[in-house]
Amino acid sequence: MQHGDGIERAVQSSVILCKKVPGLTPAALARFITSAARAVRLAGAVQLLVAGDRELRALNSRFRGKDRPTDVLSFPPPSVLNHGFAGDIAISAQIARQNARRLGHSPAEEIKILALHGILHLAGYDHERDQGEMARKEMRLRRALGLPVALIERTVSAAGRDSAVRKKQGGVQRHPARKQKARTR
């Protein structure tokens, strides 16, 4: 973070793992968050919570009015409180494990993918309104940070597969509904 004296100082991000994730420690995740935030040019500390579906469902219900768990939520700080603080991110460990299993990578990698997605939201990106700008940025960053398929990319490709399946089945969707992506706004 740049201060008035021109000296750049590191801002400590904090991680709380309420649910264990194999191959991931709070310190390793904090280092990843610092690297990802720097790559996005996000100033300030990020607080990250990895919890269960119950906690994410409660947060999603309270802040978005959606009574179901979600994979990731981002909470930018109120503008009057953002000095040195970039915001909060909450991730569901259960949904991350399910996604990882389905997509063929580790739960630790999935947590990092979701954290990157949340960091982009904290930096002001909004994939529901930006005509693909966030998706392109996330794709570049995941490559630079050594991550597998990005959240937005796979959501778009999954939507295409689901559409093809519905056409084959005469317009009736026979698959269970996929979990919705979180938004910050």
Note the pLDDT tens digit of each residue in 6-48.
334 445 788 988 888 988 999 999 999 999 999 999 988 999 9
Averaged confidence pLDDT in the chain: 78
Within 8 A by CB and 6+ apart from 33, the residues are 13, 15, 46, 48, 115, 119
Note the pLDDT tens digit of each residue in 67-113.
999 999 999 988 766 678 899 999 999 999 999 999 889 999 999 99
Domain 14-168 sits in CATH at 3.40.390.30
Has residue 161 got a pLDDT over 50? no
Confidence of residue 148 (pLDDT cuts 50, 70, 90): confident
Confidence of residue 128 (pLDDT cuts 50, 70, 90): confident
User: Rounded to two decimals, what is the model's pTM?
Assistant: 0.75
Backbone phi, psi, residue 16, to 5°: -120, 115
Has residue 2 got a pLDDT over 70? no
Rg over alpha carbons for the chain, rounded to the nearest Å, is: 17
Q: What is the pLDDT of residue 13?
A: 80
Give the residue among 96, 131, 137, 120 at the shortest CA–CA distance from 185.
Answer: 120
Has residue 182 got a pLDDT over 60? no
